[in-house]
Amino acid sequence: MTDALLVSTALLWIVVAVLCLVVLALVRQIGLLHERIAPVGALLANPGLRIGEPAPVLTASDLDGRDVRIGGAASAGTVLFFLSPTCPVCKTLLPTVLRAAREETPPLRVVLASDGDLAEHRRFVAEHGLTDTTYVLSSALGMSYQVAKLPYAVLIDRGGILRAMGLVNTREHLESLFEAQRLGFASIQEYLSRGEHPAEVMENGGTA
C-alpha cells in the first residue's frame, strides 16, 4: 500500500513538472507573438488628415483665457492629447503622456485639449496636479483633428508638420505613437499594410 502511494505521488509530481514546462513554453510563445504583432503607431480612427503635411493651425484658449497657438513652426514639437475629465482611460494615460514627452530628444511640449464646463476642467487640473501643463478648451480644435473618440493623441514636429496621430486607449498604443514618429509610420494600419517588423525597419536605418 505504501509503495503504491509513493508511486502515485511520484507520478503526480512528474505530471505537475510536465505541465509547468508546457505553461512556460506557452508563455514564451505568447511573448514572441506579442512582439511580432505589437502596433507601431496608434489606431488611426479617421484618416482625413495626412501624415507628413502641415497640421492645422489654430488658436485656443487655456483655462485662464490666454491664447495658445497650436500648429505651425515652433521652438519645440507638440504632443496634443485630447481627453475628458470623465474618461477613465484618459486619466490612466496622463502620466505616460507627460513622461514620454519629457523623454523625447529634444523634449516635446504637451497640450491637453478638451471642451465643456470650465469649472469641471479646473477641478480636474487641480486633482491631477496639471497646473504647469498647457490645458486648452476648444471644440474647434477637436473638429479640426476629426477627433471622434477619446483619448486621442497627435504629434506635431517643430516645423508644424503632422507626424503621427491616433486613438490611444492603452499605454502601449500611446508609446507606439512615438515609435511611429521615429520609424516613419503614420498609424497601425500603415504598419500592417507594409508588412514590416519594427526590427527590420531599424536595420534599414529607421525609415519606412
pLDDT at 10: 72
Low-confidence stretches of the chain (pLDDT < 70) are 1-7, 27-48, 183-208
Give the residues across from 54 on adjacent strands.
161
Of 103, 112, 99, residue with least CA distance to 152? 112
Question: What residue segments make up the domains of the chain, in order of their start?
Answer: 1-37, 58-203
Determine the angle formed by the axes of helices 88-103 and 171-183, rounding to 10 degrees: 40
Place of cell 511640449: 109
Q: Is the pTM of this model over 0.75?
A: no
Phi, psi of 37 (to 5 degrees): -105, 10
pLDDT at 185: 63
pLDDT at 114: 97
pLDDT at 188: 55
For 119-145, how does the pLDDT look when each residue is reduced to its tens digit (9 = 90+)?
999 999 999 999 999 999 999 999 999
> What is the C-alpha to C-alpha distance for residues 97 and 182, in angstroms, rounded to an integer?
16
CATH superfamily of 58-203: Glutaredoxin (3.40.30.10)
> What is the C-alpha to C-alpha distance for residues 48 and 28, in angstroms, rounded to an integer?
39
Residue 156: all three cell numbers together: 506635431
Give the residues across from 112 on adjacent strands.
81, 135
pLDDT at 207: 37
pLDDT at 50: 86
Asked if 87 and 150 touch (Cβ cutoff 8 Å), the reply is yes
pLDDT at 202: 37
